[in-house]
A and B are shown apart, each in its own frame.
Chain A
Amino acid sequence: MVQLEYVRKFILKDVNLHIPEGMAVGLIGESGAGKTTLLKLVSGLLVPDAGRVSTMGHDPGHYRKRYGRAFSAYFTGIPLLEPQDTVRSGYEGIASVYQMAPSVFVREYSMLTERLGFGEYQNQPVEALSLGQRARVELGAALLYRPRLLVLDEPTVGLDQEAKQALRDLLKERVEQGMTLLISSHDMNEVSHLCGRIALLHKGNLEFYGDQEQLHWQYHSFHTMQMRILGPLPDLGDIPFQQYQIEGDRLTLVYSSNYITSAEILQQIMGQTSITELVIRKADLGQVILRHSKAFLE
């Protein structure tokens, strides 16, 4: 669906990336890593200095008319709706551009107003809306004609929690129905919920591209095990933990699953003492990235 081969542009250096149809890919990395540049290349807003970009089988800079009706993109700062239009008339304009049948438009528009909650101000001009309201209607506009490929750049900026959840649910449904999604976000919770694959950019280099399990493995993701012990404290000498903490009868261990599994730790401890409570937490995506960034800074 999307292919980049040795692409160079601004900060991006020889980026290779292949996104199969139906895949949801989260593009993450620090500010200035090249995320928006990559998304604009895929959308045809930028042309690579070197390498090749293919979007839905075409050069996105030249063949928009051929595949554009199946493609949609949302960038902060590039409004899809004309500011002087009312929300409703702006959507009608988009429906015409993308040749939606009137009945399909009515169905999709009603669904979006309800799910994203902008029915109240649908007759107001877009320029009169607040930042959050505008983000809702712009995101709805990007989803209106059910694109096969959706590119979203920081879609949750300006959204409240309710709208974030509504958007997440909508996107999840669409991905389950076969839509390909390429999304950049600093909201790791959102990315980890939505995306089967992660692309990690660091200073223009694609440092990682794969599923979340691989990411945890590659970046030595740490697990945290908390337990309440009944009996003597166990000898932890053979466990390759990162750190431990004892508070009364509570023991907390931080360890990498690359070196030892949770089952192996439990086996060792339960051979020496009894456990009454147990909680095991895997590092979330945000913690992995934070650790990754720190490693680079060091």
Chain B
Amino acid sequence: MQSDTIHLIGVYLKTTAKAWFQYRVDAIMRSLAVFLREATGVVVIYLTLMKFQDLNGWNVYEMLFLCSLLFLTYGILIIFFTGLRDFGNTVRKGEFDRYLLRPRGLLFQIIFVNADWFAAVGHGCLGISLFLVTAGKVGVVWNVGTVLYYLFAVLGGVLIQGAIFLLLAALNFYLLETDSLKELLYYDMKKFAAYPISIYSKVIQICMIYVIPFAFVNYFPAQFFLRKQDGAVYPFACLYLTPVVGGGVYLLAYLFWRYSIRYYKSSGN
């Protein structure tokens, strides 16, 4: 990467962070609101498991460890992929034209020009909190290998979710509205991913492994550390594939984006 590109990324990140946090109290309150909203879902899981002891062999701390990966990856994801998450709105408001006027890659601009820092802080802090609470209680032995695995798993998880956003963004060139599709393909899948996939029907499991591979965002990485019984039915290689799946689906989504962008039409006036 050229030094001016790195410099530009720095400028964009600094600028967006400055813009989002210019009113500090407001920023803290809004980040806290995101944290508490998401934490409510975690509390529901916690209270449910207080009643049932475990879910398909997963105890409460293991479940929260599973959730921590989901929140942490989303917290990182949204620093870079807010522009893609909100891309439908950008196209509808005619703001995509501004990126076409600049001498930089379109995807580069969309990725780095905007960042939902409130969501990043809210989700990120919740993910880190859950990790800190659970990491010592789920029996994971932390060494260089497991730490490296964890980092690559987080990277892969970010890429998988980024690929879904990129795919949905590219669909905006064909469809007038993709919000419902985003709800179905991303947010509903993310809700499913808060629980071990083994509790779902075969159709949903296949969907989460082979179609919208959310299982690789948190379930298989968590299985790598926890080796729960329910994971025995899936190919063993799945435990190691998160970075590969992440890179692969992101590449596919990128190629689809490159192909689709030719269908973008600006208005005459």
Instruction: List residues of chain A with CB under 8 Å of any chain B CB.
Output: 9-11, 32, 34, 36-37, 40, 43-46, 64-65, 67-69, 71-73, 75, 77-80, 82, 84-86, 89-90, 92-93, 96-99, 125
State which of B92-100, B166-174, B230-238 sits at the interface with chain A.
B92-100
Residues of B within 8 A of A97 (CB): 8, 102-104
Among all A-B residue pairs, the 4 with the closest Cβ atoms: A68-B103, A36-B269, A84-B19, A45-B266
In the complex, the answer to whether A46 meets B268 with C-beta atoms within 8 Å is yes
Chain A nearest Cβ from B264, distance in angstroms: 9
Kindly identify which residue among B11, B94, B97, B100 contacts A64, using a CB–CB cutoff of 8 Å.
B100
Interface of A is mostly: mixed
Residues of B within 8 A of A125 (CB): 19, 22
Given contacts A37-B268, A40-B268, contact A78 B8 (CB under 8 A): no
Which B1-22 residues have a C-beta within 8 angstroms of A?
Answer: 4, 7-8, 11-12, 15-16, 18-20, 22
In the complex, the answer to whether B95 meets A99 with C-beta atoms within 8 Å is no
Q: Is B113 an interface residue (CB 8 A)?
A: yes
A-B contact pairs, 15 of them (CB 8 A): A9-B268, A44-B100, A44-B101, A45-B97, A65-B104, A68-B102, A72-B101, A73-B101, A77-B94, A80-B98, A89-B15, A93-B12, A97-B102, A99-B4, A125-B22
Q: What 16 additional pairs, Cβ within 8 angstroms, besides A86-B19, A89-B18? A: A10-B268, A40-B268, A43-B100, A45-B100, A64-B101, A68-B101, A69-B103, A77-B94, A78-B95, A78-B98, A79-B98, A82-B114, A84-B114, A89-B15, A92-B15, A97-B103
Interface size on B, residues (CB 8 A): 27
In the complex, the answer to whether A93 meets B102 with C-beta atoms within 8 Å is no
Which B102-130 residues have a C-beta within 8 angstroms of A?
Answer: 102-105, 113-114
Query: What total count of A-B pairs have CB within 8 Å?
Result: 84
- CA A75 to CA B269, docked complex, whole Å: 9
- CA A36 to CA B103, docked complex, whole Å: 21
Residues of B within 8 A of A78 (CB): 94-95, 97-98, 101
Q: In this complex, what residue of A is CB-closest to B93?
A: A77
Chain B nearest Cβ from A121, distance in angstroms: 14
Residues of B within 8 A of A73 (CB): 101
Residues of A within 8 A of B265 (CB): 46
Chain A nearest Cβ from B98, distance in angstroms: 5
Chain B nearest Cβ from A205, distance in angstroms: 16
Residues of B within 8 A of A86 (CB): 18-19, 22
Chain B nearest Cβ from A67, distance in angstroms: 8
Which of A11, A67, A68, A93: most chain B Cβ within 10 A?
Answer: A93
Chain B nearest Cβ from A75, distance in angstroms: 7
Kindly identify which residue among B7, B16, B97 contacts A96, using a CB–CB cutoff of 8 Å.
B7
Chain A nearest Cβ from B51, distance in angstroms: 45
Q: In this complex, what residue of A is CB-closest to B7?
A: A96
Residues of B within 8 A of A92 (CB): 11, 15
Q: In this complex, what residue of A is CB-closest to B109?
A: A97
Chain A nearest Cβ from B258, distance in angstroms: 13
Chain B nearest Cβ from A64, distance in angstroms: 5
In the complex, the answer to whether B103 meets A64 with C-beta atoms within 8 Å is yes
Chain B nearest Cβ from A85, distance in angstroms: 5
Given contacts A36-B269, A37-B268, A96-B4, contact A45 B101 (CB under 8 A): yes
Residues of A within 8 A of B100 (CB): 43-45, 64
- CA A32 to CA B268, docked complex, whole Å: 9
Chain A nearest Cβ from B110, distance in angstroms: 12
- CA A112 to CA B94, docked complex, whole Å: 27
Kindly identify which residue among A36, A80, A85 contacts B101, using a CB–CB cutoff of 8 Å.
A80
Given contacts A45-B266, A78-B95, A79-B95, contact A85 B15 (CB under 8 A): yes
- CA A96 to CA B12, docked complex, whole Å: 9
Chain B 244-269, CB within 8 Å of chain A: the 1/0 string? 00000000000000000000011011
In the complex, the answer to whether A65 meets B103 with C-beta atoms within 8 Å is yes
- CA A45 to CA B19, docked complex, whole Å: 28
Chain A nearest Cβ from B85, distance in angstroms: 15
- CA A141 to CA B105, docked complex, whole Å: 20
Given contacts A36-B268, A36-B269, A86-B19, contact A43 B101 (CB under 8 A): yes
Residues of A within 8 A of B105 (CB): 65
In the complex, the answer to whether B97 meets A89 with C-beta atoms within 8 Å is no
Chain B nearest Cβ from A155, distance in angstroms: 15
In the complex, the answer to whether B103 meets A98 with C-beta atoms within 8 Å is yes
Chain B nearest Cβ from A151, distance in angstroms: 9
Chain B 16-47, CB within 8 Å of chain A: the 1/0 string? 10111010000000000000000000000000
Chain B nearest Cβ from A233, distance in angstroms: 53
In the complex, the answer to whether A93 meets B103 with C-beta atoms within 8 Å is no
Q: In this complex, what residue of B is CB-closest to A125?
A: B19
